[in-house]
Structure 1
Amino acid sequence: DPNRVKITTMPVSGRAAEDIVQELQHFAEKEDKMWQLGKVSGTVYSNSDEHTSLMNRVYAAYSWSNPLHPGIWPKLNQCEGEVIAMTADMLHAPPIGSMTSGGTESIILAIRAHWNVYGKRRGIRHPELVCGTTAHAAVYKACDMFGIRVVSIDCNHRHDSFQLNPDRVSKGITSNTIMIYASAPSYPQGVVDPIEALSKIALRYKVGLHVDACLGGFVLPFVDDAPVFDFRNPGVTSMSADTHKYGYASKGTSIVLYRDNTLRHGQYFSYSWWTGGLYSTPTIAGSRPGALSACAWAALVSLGKDGYRERSHLIVNAARAIADGIQLVRGVKLLTPKPFMVVSFTSNEMDIYRIQDYMTKAGWNLNALQSPASVHICVTLNVVPKVDSFLRDLKMSINQVRNEGKGGRKKGTAGVYGTVGSLPAGPVDYSLRAFTDLTLEP
C-alpha cells in the first residue's frame, strides 16, 4: 500500500496499548481473509477456530519464556523432550532429536551433523552431498555455509517421475561423499523418493541418509498406501518433520531426528572456553521463543493420533480429487499422479504461468515452479472444501489463456519467467537480492 503510514524513528512518547492492538487487528483481519477463503497453497495448515484459540492461549501462557534457561522454565524442557519423543515414535526412531525453528534449520543442522561425523571424523577435506534437483533450497543454504559440494542428480528425466534415481545416486557417490539427501515428499512435485533403495545404497557406501519429511512427516504415517519412508529403513540416519505444517502447531517449530546420539552431538554448538561461562546449545539460536515449544506440545497432545489420521485422510483425498480432475482437463498435464498433499501440473499447449496468472485473478495463490515450468497447489484443511472450485477456475483460466493466444506470453508471471530464462545467472541473482532488500524495508 503506497499510502501506508511508515514509522522509521522510534516515537518519543509511546502509544496506547489499545491503539496498537486495534491497528494490528485491522490489518490482520484484512490479510487473513485470503487464506481463510481456502484458496492459498500451503502457508496456513489448520482451519479450526478452536485450535487457533488453543494455540493463542498456550502462547500467552509462555509468552516471556526462553528454553535457553531450563532452570527457570523446566516445563518447556519437558514439552520439547516429549514432542521429540512423540515424533520419533511416529517415525519409528529412537527418541534422539531436537526442536528447531523450522524445516530449513532442521535440514541445516542435519547436514552439519553429518559433516562433523561422516566428514571431519573420517578426514574428508572436500565433503560432498548427493541429492536430486528436487531437493529443498535449505540444502544449498547448508552447503554454502559449510563448504560442501552439492552433487545434484537430475530428477526431470522422462523415466524417473521426478524421483531421485538410485542408480544415478550410486554413480554420484565418491570417497568424499558424506550423505545422501532424499525427500518424502519433495516440495516441487510432491513425489516421495525411493527411500528403501536409497537406504541400501547408504549402507553399502557407509554414508548418511537424511529424509526430509518436513511436508510429509505428520501425514504419511497415517496414510495406508504410503511407502516405508522412515527409520524402518536401516540406512536412514536422520529425518526432519515440521510440527508447524501438518503438525498444526504455530509457525516456528520443526523436529530433526537422528539414529544415534553421536550424530545428534554433531549438530550441537558447545564452547567450554567462552569467557561468558560454559556454553552449549542444540541449535543455531541461543534464545528461542519458548511459547512455540509449548504450542507444538499442545498441538500433538490435543489432536492425538486419531486427529492426525482424520486430517491426513482429508488432505490426501482432496489432493487426489484435484489430481483426478486435472487429468480430465484438456490443456494441462498432471505431474503428481499419486499425490499426498502437493499436486503439480504443467502444460504442453500453452504457457503454464499465464494459467497461473488467471488463477490468481480468480483469487488463488499458487506456487510457480521451474525446470520444468509448472505450478503446484499444496492442499491444506482450508483447501479441502474448495476442490470443485479449484477445478472450475482452472478450466476457466485455461480457456482464457487459449483465447488470448501468444500475445499473453509477455505478461504477468509468464513475462517474468520468460525474461529470467533468457538471462545469465548473475543478473537474476542480483534481481533476487534487490527484491529481498525491498522485503526488509518498511
Structure 2
Amino acid sequence: MEHINENIIGPFNKHIYPKITDQQFYVETFKEFRTEFNNILNPYSANIQQKLSDITKEYNISNYELIILVVIAYFIVCKILKCFRKKEVRDYRQVTDRTMGFFPSLWYNCKSKTFQFLYKNVGFLRNHVKKEIKKTKEQFLKDFSKDFTNQTFALPKKSMKPEKLQDRIIKAYSHDEEITNNNKTSGQRYCLQNDEEEMKDFVKNFIFHNPLHAAEFPGSRQMEAEVIKMTCALYNLQGDYGITTTGGSESIMLGILAARNYFGQKKKITKPNIIIPTSAHAAHYKAAFYYDMEPIIVPLDKNNQVIISEVEKAINKNTVCIVGSNPNFQSGMQDDIPALGKLAIKYNIGLHVDSCLGSFVIPYAKDLGAKNLKDFDFKVPGVTSISCDHHKYGCAPKGVSVVMFKNNEIRQAAYFSYSEWPGGLYATAQHLGSRSTAPIAGAWYAMMSHGQKGYRQNAEIIINAVNYLKKEINSIPQLEVLGNPEVCAIGFTFNKTLKASIYQLDDELKPKGWTLSACQKPESLHISITLRFAESVKDFVKDLKEAVKKIKQNPKLHAKSKSGTVGVYGASGQIPDNALKADVLREMIDVFTRLRPETGLNKTPKKNKKPQNQ
C-alpha cells in the first residue's frame, strides 16, 4: 500500500501520522471526528440531563414515570401535527407490491421518483412527453376510426327513413362480423353461429323489460331467480345466495365489496386491504380503487400459481379478503383454493374465488381427466364468494354473470339501500338500477337448452383442445407453456433458446387472421379456447410452427415495429413510471368513443383484407 501524500492529509494529521496506510488514515480520522463531535454535543446533552433531573426531583417523579410522560407527550404532538397536515388521498395506482424483492423494488422506485421529479421540474422534458402522448393518441384515433363512414355529429332534423336506417345498421353489423365472426379469435365469441342465431330470436322479446320493477315484471324475476339458483347448485351451494350482474368485473367487485363491508364491520377495520396474486384479474384492483382499499400484490411460483406462504405473510390486521383464481387469465392455471380457504378461516377473513373464466367448464373438468385440479366451490371451507360468467362458456349473450355468497348475511353486505329518498324506498343488489332482462333471459335460455349434458360436451371439446395445444406448443423447441393448464385457457412464451420477444410472434400471426391476447410479467401470449377456436386448433398449430420458424431464421423480424403488439408493449416498456403509463392508457380510452374530425368524414375508407370465415 502506498503512503498518503502529506499535502492531501493536511496539517491536521501531518505530524500525528507521518507514515500511514490508506486504511489506517480513514480509521484514525473517523475516530478524531467522532471525538470532536461528542465534545460539541456533550454540553447540550449534559444540560438536558440536568433539566430532567431537576424535574424529577421537583415533582417527585421516578425515571420510569418520566419515560411514560415523554412517550405520551410524543403521541400528543404527533396527533396535533396530523391535524394540520393535509390528508393523504390514496391514488388507485398505488399498490403494495411484494413480488419484486427489496433491491429491485428500491431500484424501480428510484427510477420512478427521478422521472417524476424531472417530469415536474424540467419543462422541455415535460413538453416532449406530452407531445409524444398526443402523437400516440392521434395515431390511435386514426387507427380506431378508420372504418367509420357517414359519421353523425348531431340529431338529424328529420327522422331517418327506415330503409336508410336499416342500411346503416347492416353496415355497422358487417364491420364487426368481418373481423370477429371466424374461428381465429381468442375469447371474444364463445358460442357457435347457430347458437347465437337461436339466442337472438329468444332474447329480443325482453329488451324493454326491467327487473328493477320486480312487481311489474314477474316473468323476468322468475327467470333471474332460476338463473341464480341453478348457478349456485352448479357450485355446490345449497342456498340461492347470488346476485346477477352485467359481467365478470361487476361480479368480482360485488364479491370484494361484500367482504369489505362484512369483515370490515365485524373486525372494526377502517383501512381495509385485499391480498391479490399477480395473476388475478384487474377487476380486483378496480374494486380496491372504487371501495378505497389497499391492494397488496403477492408473487407466483414457477407454475404460475400464487405462493400460499407469501399470501400468509401479507395478511395483517387490516386484511378483509384474499383472492384465488379458478383459473387465472394469463396461463389458465388454478390457484390452491383449499389452502387459501384454510388461511381465510385461520385469520377470519373473506376468500373470493374468481371462476369467471372457468365458469361452465371447470365444474366438469375433473370428470374429464383434469387430474391436477383441486376443489374450488362452496364445498371448500373458507370460501365466502365465487364469481361465474354466463356470457363466456355459459353461451349466454354479453352482459350477464352471477356472484354467489356463502350465506345471505354476506350477500346482504353488498346491497345498497336508502329509506329516506323522497322518491320512495330504494334498494338494489347490483351497482345498476334499471337493467334489461334480455341478458338474463339469454342466460336462462342457454342453461335450459344446454343442460348438464350440453355443458359437459362443450367442456370436453374445450379441454381436449387445451391438451392438444399444450402438447404441440411444448413440442416446439423455442416455445414453452406457462405452467400446466388443464381447463379452458393457455399461455406460452419463448424460452431462452431464442433471443426474441413473443410479441414479434403475435405480429407475425396477425396477417394470417389469428387474434391472440398479449400478456406481460412475463411476456406471453394467451388463448381462451372457445368452441369456435377449437374447430381450427390444428390450423393454428400449423401457422404457429411456420411463424416460429421465420422468427428463428430472423430474430429481428418485427422487432422495431412501431405498431401492433410490439409497438404498444415496446413503447410501454420505455416508460419508467407506472403513473405515466396509466395516463397514457386513459388517453387511449378517450379514443374508443371519439369520432374522426369532421374534415373528409364522408369518404369511404379503403377496404382492408379480412380473414376468411371458417
Shorter-chain-normalised TM-score: which range? over 0.9
2:275 aligned residue: 130
Task: Measure the CA separation in 2 of the matches of 1:17 and 1:88.
Answer: 45
Distance 1:173 1:3, change over 3 A: closer
Question: Once the two structures are superposed, what CA deviation does each residue of 1:258-280 show, in whole Å capped at 9, x if it has no partner?
Answer: 01111111111100011111000
Distance 1:305 1:48, change over 3 A: farther
Deviates more, 1:277-286 or 1:411-420: 411-420
Deviates more, 1:392-401 or 1:134-143: 392-401
For the residue of structure 2 that corresponds to 1:227, the secondary structure is coil
Q: 1:429 aligns with which of 564, 568, 582?
A: 582
Q: 1:168 aligns with which of 310, 321, 325?
A: 310
Q: 2:553 aligns with which of 403, 414, 418?
A: 403
Report if the CA contact (8 A) 2:359-2:392 is conserved: no
2:298 aligned residue: 153
Work out whether 1:413 is the aligned partner of 2:565: yes
Report if the CA contact (8 A) 1:272-1:278 is conserved: yes
Q: Which amino acid is 1:38 matched to?
A: N
Deviates more, 1:53-62 or 1:258-267: 53-62
Report if the CA contact (8 A) 2:504-2:557 is conserved: no
Task: Measure the CA separation in 2 of the matches of 1:362 and 1:403.
Answer: 19
Give me the CA root mean square deviation: 1.4
Task: Measure the CA separation in 2 of the matches of 1:129 and 1:429.
Answer: 21
Q: CA deviation at 1:33?
A: 3.5
Work out whether 1:364 is the aligned partner of 2:511: no
Question: Once the two structures are superposed, what CA deviation does each residue of 1:95-119 show, in whole Å capped at 9, x if it has no partner?
Answer: 1111000000001111111111001
Work out whether 1:242 is the aligned partner of 2:389: yes
2:456 aligned residue: 309
2:536 aligned residue: 386
Deviates more, 1:190-199 or 1:55-64: 55-64
Report if the CA contact (8 A) 2:331-2:485 is conserved: no
1:276 aligned residue: 423
Work out whether 1:194 is the aligned partner of 2:336: yes
For the residue of structure 2 that corresponds to 1:255, the secondary structure is strand
Q: 2:445 aligns with which of 298, 301, 314?
A: 298
Task: Measure the CA separation in 2 of the matches of 1:31 and 1:217.
Answer: 26
Question: Once the two structures are superposed, what CA deviation does each residue of 1:107-150 show, in whole Å capped at 9, x if it has no partner?
Answer: 11111111110013321011011120011110011100111111
Q: Unaligned 5+ residue runs, structure 2?
A: 1-145, 596-614
Q: Which amino acid is 2:406 matched to?
A: R
Q: Counterparts in 2 of 1:12-27, with a 5 A limit?
A: 12-27=157-172
2:99 aligned residue: none
For the residue of structure 2 that corresponds to 1:65, the secondary structure is coil
Q: CA deviation at 1:408?
A: 3.1
Q: Which amino acid is 2:336 matched to?
A: P
Task: Measure the CA separation in 2 of the matches of 1:73 and 1:352.
Answer: 51
Task: Measure the CA separation in 2 of the matches of 1:162 and 1:383.
Answer: 24
Q: Which amino acid is 1:440 matched to?
A: T
Q: CA deviation at 1:329?
A: 1.1
Q: 2:286 aligns with which of 138, 141, 157?
A: 141
For the residue of structure 1 that corresponds to 2:532, the secondary structure is coil
Task: Measure the CA separation in 2 of the matches of 1:258 and 1:24.
Answer: 41
Q: Which amino acid is 1:85 matched to?
A: K
Task: Measure the CA separation in 2 of the matches of 1:76 and 1:417.
Answer: 44
2:186 aligned residue: 41
Report if the CA contact (8 A) 1:36-1:382 is conserved: no
Question: Once the two structures are superposed, what CA deviation does each residue of 1:30-67 show, in whole Å capped at 9, x if it has no partner?
Answer: 42243332000001100141x22332122211121101
Report if the CA contact (8 A) 1:217-1:242 is conserved: yes
Task: Measure the CA separation in 2 of the matches of 1:231 and 1:81.
Answer: 19
Q: 2:361 aligns with which of 214, 219, 222?
A: 219
Q: Which amino acid is 2:592 matched to?
A: T
Q: Which amino acid is 1:437 matched to?
A: D
TM-score (norm 1): 0.96
Report if the CA contact (8 A) 1:84-1:98 is conserved: yes
Question: Once the two structures are superposed, what CA deviation does each residue of 1:166-202 show, in whole Å capped at 9, x if it has no partner?
Answer: 1111111111110111110001111110001111111
For the residue of structure 1 that corresponds to 2:526, the secondary structure is strand
For the residue of structure 2 that corresponds to 1:204, the secondary structure is helix
Q: Counterparts in 2 of 1:302-341, with a 5 A limit?
A: 302-341=449-488
Distance 1:341 1:85, change over 3 A: same
Task: Measure the CA separation in 2 of the matches of 1:162 and 1:287.
Answer: 40
Work out whether 1:374 is the aligned partner of 2:546: no
| Number of equivalenced pairs | 438
Deviates more, 1:53-62 or 1:24-33: 24-33
For the residue of structure 2 that corresponds to 1:248, the secondary structure is coil
Q: Which amino acid is 2:432 matched to?
A: A
Task: Measure the CA separation in 2 of the matches of 1:206 and 1:270.
Answer: 26
Q: Which amino acid is 1:408 matched to?
A: H
Percent of aligned pairs with the same residue? 35
Report if the CA contact (8 A) 2:391-2:399 is conserved: yes
Report if the CA contact (8 A) 1:129-1:178 is conserved: yes
Task: Measure the CA separation in 2 of the matches of 1:297 and 1:84.
Answer: 9
Work out whether 1:76 is the aligned partner of 2:220: yes
Greater C-alpha Rg: 2
Work out whether 1:230 is the aligned partner of 2:377: yes
Task: Measure the CA separation in 1 of the matches of 2:278 and 2:422.
Answer: 44
1:109 aligned residue: 254
Report if the CA contact (8 A) 2:207-2:437 is conserved: yes
Report if the CA contact (8 A) 2:507-2:558 is conserved: no
For the residue of structure 1 that corresponds to 2:586, the secondary structure is helix
1:439 aligned residue: 592
TM-score (norm 2): 0.70
Work out whether 1:55 is the aligned partner of 2:205: no
Question: Once the two structures are superposed, what CA deviation does each residue of 1:317-365 show, in whole Å capped at 9, x if it has no partner?
Answer: 0111111110111211111423311110001312100000011111001
